[in-house]
Amino acid sequence: MPIPRRGRFLLLASATAGVVVAAGIAVTGTAEAASTLGASAAQTGRYFGAAIAAGRLGDSTYTGILTREFNSVTPENEMKWDATEPSQGRFSYTNGDRILNQGLSNGSKVRGHALLWHQQQPGWAQSLSGSALRTAAINHVTQVATHYKGKIYAWDVVNEAFADGGSGGRRDSNLQRTGNDWIEAAFRAARAADPGAKLCYNDYNTDGVNAKSTGVYNMVRDFKARGVPIDCVGFQSHLGTGIPGDYQANLQRFADLGVDVQITELDVAQGGNQAGVYASVTRACLAVSRCTGITVWGIRDSDSWRTGENPLLFDNSGNKKAAYTSVLNALNAGGTTSPSPSSSGTTSPSPSPSGTTSPQPTGPCTASVSLNSWNGGFVATVRVTAGSAPVNGWTVDVTLPSGSAVTSVWSAGNTGSSGAVSFRNVAYNGQIPAGGSTEFGFQGTGTGPSATPTCAAG
C-alpha cells in the first residue's frame, strides 16, 4: 500500500529557518564556485544525490542531468524487498544492478534503499509472521547486503519503523510483531554481510525535534551504548511549504550521538518559498560537520512521486528551477568540512564548546573497548583514537580470556580468534586525523576482554 500523501509533510507557516554555522567548527570558504551540485558539494567533502528509476535510464534528458549534476544515486524502488526477492529465496537484482552500475560508472556513491520496510514487501513476506518472518527478513538482509557487498556507500537498513503522532514509539507492522529487537537484528546482519557499508536508519516526519524524532534518537543512543552497529540516520525531508525551525539543531543532536546524518529524500512543495526552503535545508546540512550529503527524491518534477506538486529542482523539460540555483548558491557558499569519502568510517574530533579545549590523546593511537555481554557471549565495540598526529594504518591487540573466541568482526580484519587477537584497519578506516577516531567491533562467545587493548600506528 502506498503511503497516504496527506499528513506526510510538515506544513509550517514559517517559510525558512535561520541557520547559524556553529562556532568552533572549521568553515571552508568559496575556493572557486562550482557549476554543478555534485562538484559543489564535493568541495566540502559531501555528496549531492538523486533517487533514480531504472525505467527512466533510457531517457537522454534524464541521464544527461543525472550524470552532469549528481555524485550519488539511490534506487527509488529497485532495491526494495518486493523487487529483490519476489518469491522467497529467489533473488532478482537486474534493476538494482542497473542503478548500481549507472552510479558506479559515473563515479557516484550508491545509497542502498531499503533492506527492510513495512511497505513494498513481496506478497509471500506479507503472509508470514513470527519466527518464519523474522528468519526470512534477516535472510533477506544478509543476501541482498552480500550481493552488493563493497559497492554500497550507505544502506537504509530499516525504513520508517516509528509511529506518527506523539507516542514516540514503534509503528505496528508484521516486522514489529516479530519482536522489538528486529531492528537491531537487521543492523547486525547487515554489518556481518557488508562491513564496509555505512548502516542507516531512515524515516520521515523526523526533520525537527518532535516526539517521533526523539523516539528515533533514543533508539540510536541505545544502539550506540550497547554496541549495535549503526553509523547514520537518514532524514527524508519530504517537506511542505516550510522547514522546522529546529531542523539544524535536530541534525546536530543526532550527530552528537556519534552517527553521520544525511538528508535522504528531499522534495519541497512548490507554492510557498520553495527555493528558500531548499536553501535552508542545504545550509543546515553544511553547518553540521557529520551531515555527509543530500539526496533529492527524483530529478524533474515529472519524475516525482508527488504528482502535481512540482517539488524538485528541474522542471518537466529538464530546465533548472529557481530552487536549483538557490541550492547551488548555498553549496558554493561553503560550510563545515565533512569527513572525506576516503575516511568514511572515521570521525573527526567533535567540536568543543567555544572557550574550552578537549584534552588531546598523546602517542600515536589509543584504543578503548565497550562491551555488551550476555551469558555466553558478547559484542565489543572498540574506539581507535589518533594522538596529536594523524594515523595512517593501525593495529589493535586484544587479549581474550581463556575459552572465549571471536566469531565475527566488522570494520577491521583479524589475525587469530582466541587468546591474543590482533585487529587491523580495513581500507576505508585506516586514516584517522589528529585527535579523530574510528570504531570497529567484534562478536564472540565466552566473555569479552577485560584489559584495555593496545594500539599501534603505521
User: Which CB, 204 or 394, lies closer to ligand G3I?
Assistant: 204
Cβ atoms of residues 298 and 268 within 8 Å: no
Q: Which of 40, 43, 77, 438 binds ligand G3I (CB under 6 A)?
A: 77
The answer to the question of residue 236 lying near ligand G3I (CB under 6 A) is yes
Q: Which of 69, 76, 85, 207 binds ligand G3I (CB under 6 A)?
A: 76
User: Which CB, 112 or 196, lies closer to ligand G3I?
Assistant: 112
Residue with cell 523487487: 83
**Active-site hit among 184, 265, 309, 439:** 265
Q: Minimum distance between the CB of residue 93 and ligand G3I, rounded to whole angstroms?
A: 16
Q: Which of 265, 301, 303, 309 binds ligand G3I (CB under 6 A)?
A: 265
Position with the least CB separation from ligand G3I: 305
Of 125, 146, 138, nearest to 179 by C-alpha is: 138
The answer to the question of residue 120 lying near ligand G3I (CB under 6 A) is yes
User: Which CB, 157 or 379, lies closer to ligand G3I?
Assistant: 157
Measured distance CA(76)–CA(79) in Å, rounded: 8
Q: Which of 3, 11, 20, 405 binds ligand G3I (CB under 6 A)?
A: 3
Q: Minimum distance between the CB of residue 79 and ligand G3I, rounded to whole angstroms?
A: 10
The answer to the question of residue 92 lying near ligand G3I (CB under 6 A) is no
Cβ atoms of residues 15 and 276 within 8 Å: yes
User: Which CB, 120 or 417, lies closer to ligand G3I?
Assistant: 120
The answer to the question of residue 403 lying near ligand G3I (CB under 6 A) is no
Q: Give the containing element (helix H, strand E) for 81.
A: helix 81-84
Restricted to residues 141-200, the positions that interact with ligand G3I (CB under 6 A) are 159
Cβ atoms of residues 431 and 390 within 8 Å: yes
Measured distance CA(208)–CA(201) in Å, rounded: 16
The answer to the question of residue 95 lying near ligand G3I (CB under 6 A) is no
Q: Total residues at the site for ligand G3I (CB under 6 A)?
A: 11
Taking each helix axis as running N to C, give the angle between helix 211-226 and helix 247-255, from 0 to 180 degrees, rounded to the nearest 10. Answer: 10
Encoded amino acid at 342, one letter: S
Which residues neighbour 156 within 8 Å (Cβ) at sequence distance 6 or greater?
111, 112, 113, 114, 115, 200, 201, 202, 234, 264
Measured distance CA(79)–CA(81) in Å, rounded: 7
Tallying the residues shown for the chain, one arrives at 458
Encoded amino acid at 295, one letter: T
User: Which CB, 160 or 439, lies closer to ligand G3I?
Assistant: 160
The answer to whether residue 265 is catalytic is yes
Local structure of residue 250 (DSSP, 8 states)? H
Q: Which residues of this protein are in contact with ligand G3I, per CB under 6 A?
A: 2-3, 76-77, 119-120, 159, 204, 236, 265, 305
Task: Catalogue the active-site residues.
Answer: 265
